Amino acid sequence: MTTFYLVRHGETMWNKEHRLQGWLDSPLTEVGVLHAKKLQEYLKNISFAAAFSSSSGRAMETLHILVGDRQLPIFYENDLREIYLGDWQGKTMEEIQKTHCSEYELYMNYPAQFVATHTESFGAVTERAMFTLKKIAEKYPQDNVLIVSHAVTIKCMINAVLDRSIDQLWAEPFINGTSVTKVEHLEQQWHVKEIGTIYHLQ
């Protein structure tokens, strides 16, 4: 059985400013670094066969903190990046609501009705992320694997594993910075064991 520990990157400067990042980037805040260090301590007794990260800087920065001095093979995957948000990237939610009010309302509250124009679709994110998970499971069929990714990407993976429709994409719990979502894969079967846990912060 492959056990995936899916971690969202730590808090970034743009998270604090309520800016959407997508494929753009901003560095971790002091809080983001601190939370990643707390998660490193929390995971210290779990043996990982490999560590994977989105190729975005904030995810790679988080992964390096989590891995610490472990001697692990580390891989960076473009297909674990956040959803591409086109014209919205780098803008605050308030700015987006002024220029794309109806579209943003669908994105946030009615994801099944959201039609990607300048952005990537939720379906496309799901397809690339799940392809990557399946590829990793084939390579590590009996191991624990650490993965650092992003909120929407992790939500899309959860939705796919639970075989839910897109309209349930934003179902609680929220995927906080450095939260852990635990997914198991065995013989083509997927199981979600934990979603968005933050035990290391409690």
HEC string of 35-93?
HHHHHHHHCCCCCCCEEEEECCHHHHHHHHHHHCCCCCCEEEEHHHCCCCCHHHCCCEH
Give the C-alpha separation, 188 to 61, whole Å.
32
The pLDDT score that the predictor gives to residue 66 is 98
Give the C-alpha separation, 68 to 91, whole Å.
33
- Model pTM score: 0.96
The pLDDT score that the predictor gives to residue 50 is 98
- What are the residue ranges in the chain where pLDDT is below 50? none
Query: In what helix (H) or strand (E) does residue 18 lie, and over which residues does it extend?
Result: none
C-beta of residue 18 within 8 angstroms of C-beta of residue 94: yes
C-beta of residue 55 within 8 angstroms of C-beta of residue 76: yes
Give the C-alpha separation, 21 to 50, whole Å.
27
Helix (H, G, I), strand (E, B) or coil at 202: coil
β-bridge partners, 54? 77
The pLDDT score that the predictor gives to residue 188 is 86
C-beta of residue 53 within 8 angstroms of C-beta of residue 132: no
Q: Active-site residue numbers?
A: 9, 82
Give the C-alpha separation, 82 to 91, whole Å.
15
Query: In what helix (H) or strand (E) does residue 22 lie, and over which residues does it extend?
Result: none
